[in-house]
């Protein structure tokens, strides 16, 4: 018999409006807060159903297609898990093994892969100014294909990380914070430190810190963004965070001290990223396949990173947080000092203390992706979820 927790989550979901049917999900700040609440609540319900051994299968047929233009572990397997749990078959588009490698256009590819497709998940975070635009170009091609009668139904798109946002990660982070603090309402007034941290590599995307400041300011959190001079984020996203904080009664600040951000923080999220200007230069070099230019840029950036090896999440900095017991978060994999590298984002001691917590954080992602797929493709998600819970109940009798 489904637990009381599942029935309570079902009731909570019934009171929310999602309005995502036949839409795409590309940036969290394009969607109202109630819709975000509905996604998180549905993900929690799916997670509980799976934990209790019940299926939440919702489709009899159809494809979920993934397009990964960058490496991935957590997001790739979360997308595959979500598709399987919902009853969709998975197909991965390897552009090097497709006609894309021979010059096939985005317009043509988008239609050719979509005849029986329900959802397309795309990761494209390598090229600043390009990834989110590519997703929208695919969307426009799908809209045209459906309008012209080529596609019976236009598939929906889920952003699995782009140059601007990483919505499935930040939504999973939000779900974990909701669990940790008890409710979304309880996040109001909590301080989260989204800080740059040292890494012995360069070129890490901006989308995780941008996703965090763009989403957590929606729920009245006091967001402190910290980074060394020259490591700023996309200015437009900074403006989004400021606007959100003003509207929700939270706050947003940008500081140049990791210690200042950690002081009295309830949550810390130390994560390396490349400077905005560097990602612009890197994009220009990648476009023309300038290998020598990329090597020179990497050398320059690693030398600059090396000036900030003190930007490590260690015990001393954790002691600055509220009661010395802030929740440590990371999208993983973290650069762990003396474990995965000589010097990195986080000390081995701190990471080991919170290792299981970061795994629990990551565990929400397949259910967040399931929720996005479900809401984008099910016309009456409230009735469908009620039927899924009733199916689970009847199987228990």
| Predicted pLDDT of residue 216 | 98
Clarify whether residues 112 and 81 are in a common domain.
yes
Residues 348 and 389 in one domain: no
**Residues 150-164: tens digit of each pLDDT:** 999 999 999 999 999
**Same domain as 102, residue 46:** yes
Q: Which residues pair with 270 in a beta bridge?
A: 195
> How far apart, in Å, are the Cα atoms of 98 and each of 40, 195, 346?
35, 39, 40
Place of tokens 């493709």: 377
pLDDT of residue 99: 79
Looking at the structure, do residues 148 and 177 belong to the same domain, yes or no?
no
Confidence at residue 135, expressed as pLDDT on a 0 to 100 scale? 97
Query: Largest alpha-carbon pair distance within the chain?
Result: 67
316 lies in the same domain as 376? no
What CATH code is carried by the domain that includes residue 289? 3.40.50.1370
pLDDT, tens only, 204-260: 999 999 999 999 999 999 999 999 999 999 999 999 999 999 999 999 999 999 999
Q: Are residues 334 and 370 both part of a single domain?
A: no
Q: What is the pTM of this model?
A: 0.96
Q: How many domains does the chain have?
A: 2
The per-residue b/e assignment along 269-288, b for 16 or more CB within 10 angstroms, e otherwise, is: bbbbbbbbebbebbbebbee
First to last CA, the chain: 7
Nearest to 158 by CA among 128, 184, 124: 124
Examine the domain organization and report whether 144 and 174 are in the same domain: no
pLDDT in tens, the chain (397 residues): 899 999 999 999 999 999 999 999 999 999 999 999 999 999 999 999 999 999 999 999 999 999 999 889 999 999 999 999 999 999 999 888 777 766 789 999 999 999 999 999 999 998 899 999 999 999 999 999 999 999 999 999 999 999 999 999 999 999 999 999 999 999 999 999 999 999 999 879 999 999 999 999 999 999 999 999 999 999 999 999 999 999 999 999 999 999 999 999 999 999 999 988 888 898 899 889 999 999 999 999 999 999 999 999 999 999 999 999 999 999 999 999 999 999 999 999 999 999 999 999 999 999 999 999 999 999 999 999 999 999 999 987 6
CB atoms within 10 A of CB 387: 12
Q: Are 92 and 65 in contact (CB under 8 A)?
A: yes
Q: What is the pLDDT of residue 252?
A: 98
Residues 196 and 322 in one domain: yes
Q: Based on the domain organization, do 75 and 27 belong to the same domain?
A: yes
Does 243 share its domain with 280? yes
Cα 48 to the chain's mean position, in Å? 21
pLDDT at position 103: 79
Cβ atoms of 141 and 111 within 8 Å: the answer is: yes
The pLDDT score that the predictor gives to residue 32 is 97
CB 375 within 8 A of CB 186: no
Per-residue pLDDT, 100: 75
The pLDDT of residue 277: 86
Specify the pLDDT at position 236: 97
Whether 392 contacts 49, CB under 8 Å: yes
DSSP string, 89-140: EEEE--GGGSGGGGT--HHHHHHHT-TTEEEEEEEE-SSTTTHHHHHHHHHH
One domain, residues 242 and 379: no
CB of 181 closer than 8 Å to CB of 187: yes
The reply to whether 110 and 247 lie within a common domain is: no
User: Residue 176: which domain range?
Assistant: 169-362
């Amino acid at each position: 018999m489904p637990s009381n927790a599942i029935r309570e989550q079902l009731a909570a979901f019934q009171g929310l409006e999602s309005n995502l049917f036949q839409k795409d999900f590309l940036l969290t700040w394009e969607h109202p807060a109630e819709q975000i609440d509905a996604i998180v609540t549905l993900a929690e319900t799916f997670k509980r159903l799976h934990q209790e051994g019940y299926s939440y299968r919702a489709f009899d047929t159809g494809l979920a297609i993934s397009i990964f233009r960058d490496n991935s572990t957590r997001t790739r397997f979360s997308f595959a898990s979500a598709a399987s749990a919902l009853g969709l078959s998975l197909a991965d588009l390897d552009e090097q093994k497709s006609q894309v490698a021979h010059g096939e256009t985005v317009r043509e590819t988008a239609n050719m892969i979509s005849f029986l497709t329900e959802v397309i998940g795309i990761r494209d975070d390598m090229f600043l100014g390009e990834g989110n635009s590519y997703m929208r170009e695919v969307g426009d091609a799908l809209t045209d294909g459906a309008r012209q009668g080529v596609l019976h139904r236009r598939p929906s798109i889920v952003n699995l990380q782009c140059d601007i946002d990483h919505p499935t990660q930040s939504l999973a982070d939000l779900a974990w914070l909701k669990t940790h603090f008890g409710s979304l309402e309880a996040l109001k007034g909590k301080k989260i430190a989204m800080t740059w941290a040292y890494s012995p590599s360069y070129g890490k995307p901006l989308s995780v810190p941008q996703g965090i400041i763009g989403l957590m300011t929606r729920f009245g959190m006091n967001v402190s963004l910290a980074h060394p001079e020259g490591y700023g984020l996309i200015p437009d996203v900074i403006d989004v965070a400021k606007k959100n904080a003003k509207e929700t009664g939270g706050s947003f600040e940008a500081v140049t001290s990791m210690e200042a951000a950690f002081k009295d923080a309830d949550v810390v999220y130390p994560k390396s990223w490349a400077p905005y200007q560097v990602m612009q230069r890197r994009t220009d070099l990648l476009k023309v396949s300038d290998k020598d230019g990329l090597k020179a840029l990497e050398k320059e950036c690693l030398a600059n990173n090396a000036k900030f090896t003190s930007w490590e999440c260690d015990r001393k900095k954790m002691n600055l947080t509220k009661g010395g017991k802030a929740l440590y978060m990371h999208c993983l994999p973290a650069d762990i000092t003396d474990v995965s590298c000589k010097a990195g984002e986080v000390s081995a001691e701190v990471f080991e203390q919170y290792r299981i917590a970061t795994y629990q954080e990551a565990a929400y992602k397949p259910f967040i992706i399931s929720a996005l797929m479900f809401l984008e493709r099910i016309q009456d998600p409230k009735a469908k979820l009620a039927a899924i819970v009733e199916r689970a109940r009847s199987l228990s009798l």
